[in-house]
Structure 1
């Protein structure tokens, strides 16, 4: 990394921290209570260049490399606002890049500038009631109806479902094709006739990150709403998967680092049996072990960022990153909460939110079991 890049990232980091202090920290608890991040924050994020800054300037981005995106999400996660980080990730690091990498010029011009200004929030619709990590089991269909495709089906666990105005939907366009074949990605606008959003689902954690059921009933879509090649949607998903899983890994790691900072501060302030907690050997050793896990995982993630920059990060690498980071984060954050004792179980202590927010990271983006399956195939298939 050049000296100029380091300086630019340092300036960007300070801007993020200032933004979080003014625009997020005073309001986050109320957002958690209301189970939704206000749309006005998205516009502020856009005004500050925080939404997909690596998108080229011609579409409204800053044209920087993806390390700026990662820094943004890591700082938000580290500060304990993981739900916000994940909502931004889905919009900026998944949907924006689907549009940029798979879309036609007309599609890019139509959506990307509004998405980067925070005026159009996006959601990706893959998971279905009977098809979670196994996307080959998708049942939603978009079949020919005159000059249009007629979309029917439903999705569940859709991040940004309540706030979004653009939905990138995976649906079968060739029902005779087996497995992952015959799947297309479709651009569905919220105002489309036959589109509806179900309830904002009540989750264990990440409460302000709205998560919804989505329904499609006889929605007619013209051909210009197909994103990428028809029947090649699964290939498009696989193309973007390494980045998506590395981003989740970055968020998990930074979230655990934030929890560790809280535990370390508490251990140096709290006394028990006549000593600071940090002076008790058992606590010191727990902190040392957690620190070692964080440092080793940080080294791995930074090396994978370099791989992604060089376009050398493959699906197995990304699966390793996600598996190790999310599993490590759960262990470390659990250990951090333990240091707080009974206070760690109280909602007034932020460590409790770190704990419940972290758990789902081993599930979304592909479960840990799926990550192990993907990794193991490298050995089986040579």
Structure 2
């Protein structure tokens, strides 16, 4: 189906991103996967191109553009090439909105120029060894001490934590009858005494994206590094959940389409029993069904992107979009790999990478089960 989401400006941005990915990402990607991280120079280069600061104000060296469709283009082009640029999506789509919404003028002056150039990278530390979806149960604590907070605790599965210069940490600063109260977002700067970055976790997929454990041992965080209002972190976090979940859906649909394109090319070239694999009825029917599913997911996603731009995307809508698009991704990529046969199971194949990368989209940003709970509440159940 013809898409009407993008303008000529978006398509010009697409050409620039595609050229960057083809020349500066794809040739080195296997090395990045082996290292479990992306070189810092990549983000410097993206800063030179204006990508890192495109959502930041011009007064900080950014592009002053809050059009989320540019972020969509960026994800679509990396998916088309079968790559990810480490923690870039999380940095731009998940974390920067918190800085944009809650940073004080003083904090903006300290951090925004570096964020705009790619000199400062970010991470957000919510999950703990014993705490996942239930954020109100976090055990990391920050005790006020004069004009500082003393932070103790541990976080795990932190995307971009190895590269991060600024880490937004969710910590409990007080207790009350409502356990969602008393949570605070603290920005911890790399190099602060007592802040330790652990090993890069060896993941099934997204292997070029650094994911680490973080520990905080008596870390003194200036009170001027509180992001937003102390004690109000739970409400701050829920404010950006629709965009965060939409961003995951964007990647899911883009990777679904990439998997179908790869598979169509494969079945045209692969010969079995003296005939192209694509000439068999089962192959045709499978790819036809997958294309129909991907088309439906794309239409739902594009409507949601438009709703976000119009300020109308609700939490329940975003949950439905994430649920549908990521579940579609899981089904489609699995069926695509089946058509590759044994080669699809070899890690050097692009479809194997897409298969491995797809699994986490039904987990992070809220599991599919959590999405169903949100949707069920929205219909009065």
TM class by shorter chain equals over 0.9
Aligned to 2:194: 194
Aligned residues: 377
Q: Give the Cα separation in 1 of the matches to 2:57 and 2:45.
A: 20
Report whether the alignment pairs 1:50 with 2:51: yes
Q: Which residue in 1 is equivalent to 2:15?
A: 14
Q: Report the aligned-residue RMSD.
A: 1.5
How far apart are 1:220 and its partner, in Å? 1.4
Q: 1:196 to 1:364 in 2, by over 3 A?
A: same
Give 1:48 deviation, angstroms.
Answer: 1.0
Query: What's the CA shift string for 1:117-152, capped at 9, x where partnerless?
Result: 111110000011111111111111111123321111
Q: Which residue of 2 aligns with 1:81?
A: 83
In 2, distance between residues paired with 1:155 and 1:315? 26
Please, what TM-score do these two structures have when normalized by structure 2? 0.96
- The answer to whether the aligner puts 1:272 opposite 2:296 as a matched pair is no
CA contact (8 A) 2:53 2:61 kept: no
Give the match for residue 71 of structure 2.
69
Looking at structure 2, the residues matched to 278 and 179 of structure 1 have their Cα atoms a distance apart, in angstroms, of: 57
Query: Could you tell me which residue of structure 1 aligns to residue 35 of structure 2?
Result: 34
Q: Distance in 1 between matches of 2:258 and 2:322?
A: 18
SS of alignment partner, residue 50 of structure 1: coil
- Between 1:57-66 and 1:99-108, the stretch displaced more is 57-66
Equivalent position of 1:256 in the other structure: 256
Cα shift at 1:222: 2.0
| Mapped contact 2:319–2:371 kept (Cα < 8 A) | yes
Deviations 1:48-71 (A, max 9, x none): 112252322222221231110111
Identify the residue that residue 347 of structure 1 maps to in structure 2: 347
Shift of the alpha carbon at 1:78? 2.8
Say if 2:147 is the partner of 1:157. no
- Per mean C-alpha deviation after superposition, the further-off stretch among 73-82 and 212-221 is 73-82
Counterpart contact for 1:54–1:69, Cα < 8 Å: no
Q: What residue is the counterpart of 1:228 in the other structure?
A: 228
What's the TM-score, normalizing by structure 1? 0.96
- Per-residue displacement from partner, 1:225-254 (whole Å, max 9, x unpaired)? 100011011111111111110001000110
| Contact 2:175–2:181 (Cα < 8 Å) also in 1 | no
The 5 A counterparts of 1:1-382 are 6-64=7-65, 65-82=67-84, 84=85, 87-380=87-380
CA apart distance, 1:4: 12
In structure 2, list runs of 5 or more residues that go unmatched: none
